Amino acid sequence: MLHRELETVSKKDLEKLQFERLKKSLAAATKAPYYQKLFKEHNIHVDSIRTLEHIKDLPFVTKNDLRLSYPDGMVAVPKSDIVRMHASSGTTGKSTVIFYTMNDINAWADLLARCMAATGATREDVFQNMMGYGLFTGGLGLHYGAERLGCLVIPSASGNTLRQIQLMQDFRTTIIHITPSYALHLAEEIAAQGINPRDLSVKKAYLGAEPYSEATRNKIEAQWGMHAYNSYGLSELNGPGVAFECVHRCGMHLWEDYYYMEIINPDTGEVLPDGEEGELVLTHLNREAMPMLRYRTRDLTRIIPGQCACGRTHRRIDRIKGRTDDMLIVGGVNVFPSQIETVLMNIPEVGNNYQIVLDREGGLDRIHVKVELYSKMFSGDIKNIDNLKKMIVERLRALIVVNPRVELLEPGSLPPSTGKAVRVIDNRKL
Ligand code: AMP
Ligand code: ZN
């Protein structure tokens, strides 16, 4: 089927296609050690999944399962068939690693070309990709999609603000792919150069990789004089391209020929009807190297009832409202407070109390870590304290990439925790 047919497919034909693809994904899963063990433990025979509804008989997969099966416990193809790997951002050590065959890369590129086309992008566009390249899926994911569509791609990657501005001016960039926080920051930097961002040729921005509000979108659109499209994805399900807004910008079409979606009650696991808010659970229907069945994204959203005016039949999901775990996204990097805690608690001089404060200044995320030390540290040489601080900054930076501000405090400086400790104070107005 052509993209056009696939995007406007009837519910009946879609369900037929989904079921065919689910059967294929299940068969692939039986080749991966992780699923072999899972199916055995739960006494699951893939042949007993005879309708789409039966997917409910499968247990959920979590990020922790990916970590436990690191590095290749979920791989379902011979190593020689794998052509690429990516990893979830930010985490060190046993992070979540994703593998792709050539068919997977091609299917992913097709899907992203579809996303871009849905926003009205064409081969005439100049696409400046300001997302991180490398292990992060944001950069290379959209890069391949934009090439597939035929755009001129500028792989400028994130950061290096002055060069970004120069490239936008010299090559008359029409579309940017950027995190919302960097879009805000970049607009300020452009203005500081005496340039009005509205005078550049940028017409569209794809904003994703981190949570943001409708108010932030409106602000970015006004600053830049362009349309901003919400883009959602996660590395476990390939990366960007899971759901994307079309020209109507009223929720993201989740591409149901690639992904089977469920919204569940995060506490009970029960599947909720369209319209109700809950946790998004996704099954990849079109991947060879690494089947992903009922993955708990931890992202909170809802299915927007009704049809989109564009005619695409794939249901839309609402802006991500939050997470059901404590994962923070700082400057586009995923950070779990527990990882910061592990760093701190491995340093003998660190006492028992710490606090993480997040702020946003000039569009950039700042992370401030307040750490209580044992009192004997304060009777010693001030130089020791300086060195200790440097060491903590280095170790945290290795973990969270973003430059942290570290403040060392005497014991008792932070509010003592009575009950559930408030470790994170997020002052960012997303
Ligand atoms: P990663 O696997 O590193 O690409 O991170 C994926 C996570 O980033 C998702 O599970 C979401 O929590 C978050 N995310 C990605 N895109 C968006 C978006 N458009 N809005 C809100 N959160 C997003
Ligand atoms: Zn639409």
CATH number, domain at 383?
Answer: 3.30.300.30
- Which has the higher per-residue pLDDT, 202 or 351? 202
Percent of the residues in the chain that have a pLDDT greater than 70, as a whole number: 96
Both 364 and 420 in a single domain? yes
Domain end point (choices 276, 291, 324): 324
Q: Whose CA is nearest to atom 10 of ligand 1?
A: 234
Of 268, 3, 237, 269, the residue nearest 117 (C-alpha): 3
Are the C-beta atoms of 358 and 337 separated by less than 8 Å? no
Both 32 and 116 in a single domain? yes
Both 281 and 337 in a single domain? no
For residue 90, pLDDT over 70 is answered with: no
Assigned token pair, 122: 């064409």
Span of 309-313, 353-357, 377-381, 425-429 with lowest mean pLDDT: 377-381
What is the pLDDT of the chain when averaged over all its residues? 92
pLDDT for the residue numbered 1: 64
Average pLDDT over residues 231-258: 98
Taking the centre of ligand 1 as the mean of its atom positions, its distance from the CA of residue 324, in whole angstroms, is 13
Are the C-beta atoms of 372 and 350 separated by less than 8 Å? yes
Number of domains in the chain: 2
Taking the centre of ligand 2 as the mean of its atom positions, its distance from the CA of residue 152, in whole angstroms, is 25
Both 243 and 197 in a single domain? yes
Both 2 and 97 in a single domain? yes
Both 296 and 373 in a single domain? no
What gap in Å lies between CA 222 and CA 226, rounded to an integer? Answer: 7
Domain end point (choices 301, 324, 347): 324
Domain residue limits at 260: 1-324
Residues with CB under 6 A from ligand 1: 88-89, 137, 208-211, 230-235, 239, 297, 299, 320, 323, 329, 334
| CA of 89, closest atom in ligand 1 | 3
Q: Whose CA is nearest to atom 12 of ligand 1?
A: 299
Q: What is the pLDDT of residues 383-416, one digit of tens each?
A: 888 999 999 999 998 887 778 999 999 888 988 7
Are the C-beta atoms of 352 and 413 separated by less than 8 Å? no
Both 341 and 369 in a single domain? yes
> pLDDT class for 91, splitting at 50, 70, 90?
very low
For residue 139, pLDDT over 80 is answered with: yes
For residue 93, pLDDT over 60 is answered with: no
Both 301 and 200 in a single domain? yes
CATH number, domain at 182?
Answer: 3.40.50.12780
| CA of 319, closest atom in ligand 1 | 20
Both 173 and 264 in a single domain? yes
Sign of the Cα torsion 400, 318, 229, 139 reads positive
Please give the distance of CA 164 from its chain centroid, rounded to a whole number: 23
Both 239 and 352 in a single domain? no
Average pLDDT over residues 253-276: 97
Both 191 and 251 in a single domain? yes
Taking the centre of ligand 2 as the mean of its atom positions, its distance from the CA of residue 156, in whole angstroms, is 29
By most ligand atoms within 8 Å of CB, the mutation choice from 62, 249, 299 for ligand 1 is: 299
Q: Whose CA is nearest to atom 15 of ligand 1?
A: 209
Q: What is the pLDDT of residues 274-316, one digit of tens each?
A: 999 999 999 999 999 999 999 999 999 999 999 999 999 999 9
Both 262 and 311 in a single domain? yes
In sequence order, the β-bridge partners of residue 98 are 86
For residue 420, pLDDT over 80 is answered with: no
Domain end point (choices 306, 324, 342): 324
